[in-house]
Structure 1
């Protein structure tokens, strides 16, 4: 079977990060507007319309594509901000938009029939029936799969949905909930990634020094407690450490980063179209280091060479890594 070279889809939270990603070898860069239409709506991040126009021109001049993430869910009765986001992406000649809300997908398909549509991971489509629905009804050409499937499940899924493409996460912060369905951040802070574009917003985060170590808190809730000298992870509820029946443990997964570099041959054989790196909230040094590593990895696999030895511990969450559900299921 002939292997298909997957695209390397890389994050850019700023114009500087976009340039770093492209120069490091990204095939595609994904970005968001500086508002609540994207799920990384943090202060100091994202693009104005002018910056996006310039970023698209730079990427296209260097043979790369730009995907615009409009992946939050519009407020009922007030979709204008989201409609404008789609209209502007089409006007600025973005290569695709990444959408989650079915109403917004219907709007984009009807208003901009030539605009390429990608289904966001926030839509949580992980089976042939749901993916085929989006493809047949709206012309969606690629689906970003939730981070809950094994490699074997992805390999079985791909033949059933062709010609729809699949994109999977290969590195970065690991969302261990079913994307698009999480209400934990909203419970604690009143803000969620699905509606406001923020999970565990920084304004609600506190680190409190105690005699026994450091407590991480979110909106007054203690999420974790760390001993002296122990790395203190970012307090998201799904990665909290809690006491139940006298036992202290993490709910789903320790605060670690997804890293599938060693699994690239298996993911390529599974027929994945694109590899996605998470991290629009990270700086250009992170972007450059990860993109360079995965560029070298993909190129080595396609050339039949051994994978290069790449140590990415220094830029992973808590200095630890996991292969997530690709090798083990939480179900």
Structure 2
């Protein structure tokens, strides 16, 4: 079972590698990846430096080119594929079938991992991608129960990777229209739910207001942690009560069911958080490395201590195992 950790910049990559990641995933400095924030991601020179450091420590580097190309900017995606492969990236994480076809016309053997953005949730879908594009692995959306994940790991033609820790999304990945409703910019093509140019902050005495394209998303009291404004995690007045209407800030943490995921044949655990700090990456990687090693060794496993420590790093300082606990299919 691989531990796949996020790296939004070189310091985060170093922390992930030093704390036991088997692979790190990165993005280029453009909208071809689903974490297209200012200050994040890698230039050509930084990628070379990252690959050298990771490979020196027996760690792979995956590159996410996992947004959906716009017709008038198709060359941005193909140029990004060319650059990543030429620089020595180990694997590309891809959602769009046109991009996959371009990769296969360039190389019949270069490893492709199906991105969570493709929202593939059935054996038939995974086998389709394997048959037509020879994908090696698929990252599953965070909408499946443990029983469904186990079935896919058993029956599909490809390796299965699942998210183990990090922010959640109420949408089936790759299918979100909420932010484009407010801004006209889609996260599926722009690589970010709330583009910075549409975000406004305003202090009103002891109250901090966050807005997205001038629409009020939330108000934060003096001692509250202020989250980045996204429509799905905003607080709204509903029937006279102010509340999170769609999703409370919370993080996924599947460490409690790690032995079951391992027994099911899950090939890799993915940590979300390319937008998070190097300290976050270091701490999460350390605890998950320890947990995976314990489970693989067959030693008795208790997630109580790491779950308690990781709680401090979670959104809203609360965690859930999300859809994994569902008993229906």
Is TM more than 0.5 here?
A: yes
State whether structure 2 residue 138 is matched by structure 1 residue 140.
no
Counterpart of 1:241 (choices 235, 240, 250) is 235
> CA 1:181–1:167 in 2, change beyond 3 Å: closer, same or farther?
same
Secondary structure of residue in 2 paired with 1:263: helix
Equivalence for 1:25: 20
Secondary structure of residue in 2 paired with 1:315: coil
Question: Which protein has the bigger helix share?
Answer: 2
Tell me, yes or no, if the aligned pair for 1:170 and 1:258 is still in contact at 8 Å.
Answer: yes
Where structure 1 has 5 or more consecutive residues not aligned to the other structure, the ranges are 1-5
Equivalence for 1:183: 177
Equivalence for 1:323: 321
RMSD between aligned residues: 2.1
> CA 1:289–1:262 in 2, change beyond 3 Å: closer, same or farther?
same
User: Normalising by the residue count of structure 1, what TM-score does the alignment of the two structures yield?
Assistant: 0.91
Secondary structure of residue in 2 paired with 1:79: helix
Secondary structure of residue in 1 paired with 2:28: coil
Equivalence for 2:85: 90
Counterpart of 1:216 (choices 205, 210, 224) is 210
> For each residue in 1:104-157, what CA deviation from the matched residue of structure 2 results, as whole angstroms up to 9, or x when unmatched?
011111212121001111111111111111010110111110110011110122
Where structure 2 has 5 or more consecutive residues not aligned to the other structure, the ranges are none
Equivalence for 1:76: 71
User: Normalising by the residue count of structure 2, what TM-score does the alignment of the two structures yield?
Assistant: 0.92
Equivalences for residues 1-331 of structure 1 within 5 A: 6-162=1-157, 164-209=158-203, 213-226=207-220, 229-246=223-240, 248-303=242-297, 304-307=299-302, 309-310=305-306, 311-328=309-326
> For each residue in 1:143-180, what CA deviation from the matched residue of structure 2 results, as whole angstroms up to 9, or x when unmatched?
11011001111012222203x01111111111221111
2-side partners of 1:58 and 1:210: how far apart? 46
Tell me, yes or no, if the aligned pair for 1:11 and 1:29 is still in contact at 8 Å.
Answer: yes
Secondary structure of residue in 2 paired with 1:188: helix
Tell me, yes or no, if the aligned pair for 2:67 and 2:191 is still in contact at 8 Å.
Answer: yes
Question: How many residues of Structure 1 are paired with residues of Structure 2 in the alignment?
Answer: 325
> CA 1:228–1:52 in 2, change beyond 3 Å: closer, same or farther?
closer
**Deviation larger for 152-161 or 25-34:** 152-161
Equivalence for 1:3: none
Tell me, yes or no, if the aligned pair for 1:40 and 1:193 is still in contact at 8 Å.
Answer: no
2-side partners of 1:266 and 1:253: how far apart? 27
> For each residue in 1:32-52, what CA deviation from the matched residue of structure 2 results, as whole angstroms up to 9, or x when unmatched?
001111111111111111211
> CA 1:267–1:253 in 2, change beyond 3 Å: closer, same or farther?
farther
Tell me, yes or no, if the aligned pair for 1:148 and 1:329 is still in contact at 8 Å.
Answer: no
Tell me, yes or no, if the aligned pair for 2:145 and 2:323 is still in contact at 8 Å.
Answer: yes
